[in-house]
Amino acid sequence: MGRDFIETKKNILILVTKLSNGGAEKSAVLLSKNLSKKYNVYLAVFDGRNRDYETDVYVIDLKTNITKNLIKKLFNFKKRIYLLKNIKEKYKIDCTISFLTGPSLVNILSKKNDKTVVSVRNNIKEKGKIQSLVNKYVMKRADKVVTVSEDMREYHIKKDKISPSKIITIHNVCDINDILIKSEEKIDQYNNIFKDGNIIISLGRYEKQKAQDKLIRAFSKLAKEENKYKLVIFGRGKEKKKLQKLVKDLDVTENIFLLDYVSNPYKYLKKSKIFAMSSIYEGCSNAILEAMSLGLPIVATDCKYGNKEILFSKIKKESYGILVSVGDNKYRKAKEKLTKEEIELYEALKKLTNDEDLRNYYSKKSKERIKRYLDNLDNWVECIEED
């Protein structure tokens, strides 16, 4: 764990579970890169074995593997607190920023002389009562709470009675230069799918939160109207087999492709014409921001809390994409009728696929809107430096 630190700069520790699979993990890596312009930054992870996101920042692996075994969980929990206390002391950490509920609880319970900042990424109430209670405990005891959307901030002020002076909003950002460079890479895998370019694309874990079953069911109606578009989803997760069966039962296996996670989705986004998201809840979607950075028109659910904040300006009363009603979290089989929310999603997709001028309009709006999400360094510096 040895690394010399520069005494004249503050030492910042960023804590997250791992460096793979999720938007919070990606945001932690990007934040560590941005903060390293001003501070000595260390990135600590519970389990550093598998990495989807690379970083030049010094990584401290706690080597406490994520497990479902209750006894091992409790052992790892105590070990993480002990290790993090030592790390904070050894590296003279001035501020620790944690992402997600588990790391944030460890951050709070390992507090030394550091300022504790917790980043709330999502609609925690959707994850159950226990996680909601833990999250409330964490926010109450943190020195500062950061949400990724204003609506989420307002919710925690009202529901959890968090002091307005203690909780702030800092949006996610997009590393647009990196995205543009990687988007130029040649497509070798899946070239036969993307060769005609008539693609509606979605990125996200195959989990209930993302509700890809709603998107699949809505698109299947479009596919059966002899529409020339294909739906492609990239991700990984435990719901994939169930979704594959749904695609088969709907008889749209030649129109819908459920593909594995790829480290560079940007080259596929660039070859697509529309980005779609059907999530039940989101914070500030990295996937939407990445799609916007490449000029894709966006169709997304108006779920709590972040999508509307990205796609609609309350100040200008202007839309930057198409928002559709969010559905429930009930899984429906192929033989069941489309819900009114699924029909609304189908109609939005149909409108965009049939209207090139409308696609071009929302493409320009995406490129315009993404400028708001290119830099948040000053906001984080203010959060760190504020007494």
The share of the chain scoring above pLDDT 70, in percent, equals 97
Angle 369-371-373 from CA coordinates, rounded to 5°: 90
Strand pairing category for 318-319 and 312-313: antiparallel
Nearest to 370 by CA among 120, 199, 172: 172
C-alpha span between 308 and 319 (Å, rounded): 9
Return the sign of the alpha-carbon dihedral for residues 68, 304, 141, 44.
Answer: positive
Domain span at residue 253 reads 176-373
First to last CA, the chain: 30
In this structure, are 198 and 153 located in the same domain?
Answer: no
Burial class of residue 285 in the structure, from the number of CB atoms within 10 Å of its CB (0-12 exposed, 13-18 middle, 19+ buried): buried
**Cβ-contact 22, 97 below 8 angstroms:** no
In a domain, 209, yes or no: yes
SS3 143: coil
For residue 45, the tally of other CB atoms under 10 A from its CB is 23
pLDDT, tens digit (0-9, with 9 covering 90-100), for 366-383: 999 999 999 999 999 999
In this structure, are 235 and 290 located in the same domain?
Answer: yes
- CA distances to 61, 67, 69 from 75, rounded to whole Å, are 17, 11, 10
Q: Which of 1-5, 109-113, 222-226 has the highest mean pLDDT?
A: 109-113
In this predicted structure, what is the pLDDT of residue 7? 53
Q: Is the pLDDT of residue 21 over 80?
A: no
SS3 357: helix
In a domain, 345, yes or no: yes
101 token code pair: 């509920």
133 token code pair: 């209670």
- Cis, peptide link before residue 346, omega less than 30° from 0: no
In a domain, 185, yes or no: yes
pLDDT, tens digit (0-9, with 9 covering 90-100), for 308-365: 999 998 888 899 999 999 989 899 999 999 999 999 999 999 999 999 999 999 999 9
Mean pLDDT of the chain, nearest integer: 93
In this predicted structure, what is the pLDDT of residue 1? 45
pLDDT, tens digit (0-9, with 9 covering 90-100), for 113-159: 999 999 998 765 656 688 888 999 999 999 999 999 999 999 999 99
**Cβ-contact 319, 312 below 8 angstroms:** yes
144, 170, 196 - which closes a domain: 170
In this structure, are 35 and 124 located in the same domain?
Answer: yes
In this structure, are 135 and 89 located in the same domain?
Answer: yes
What is this structure's pTM? Answer: 0.92
Nearest to 159 by CA among 207, 126, 119, 114: 126
The share of the chain scoring above pLDDT 90, in percent, equals 84
pLDDT, tens digit (0-9, with 9 covering 90-100), for 86-122: 999 999 999 999 999 999 999 999 999 999 999 998 7
Structural domains counted in the chain: 2
In this structure, are 115 and 233 located in the same domain?
Answer: no
In this structure, are 145 and 185 located in the same domain?
Answer: no
C-alpha span between 284 and 174 (Å, rounded): 11
In this structure, are 265 and 146 located in the same domain?
Answer: no
User: Phi, psi (5° rounding) for residue 256?
Assistant: -125, 130
In a domain, 47, yes or no: yes
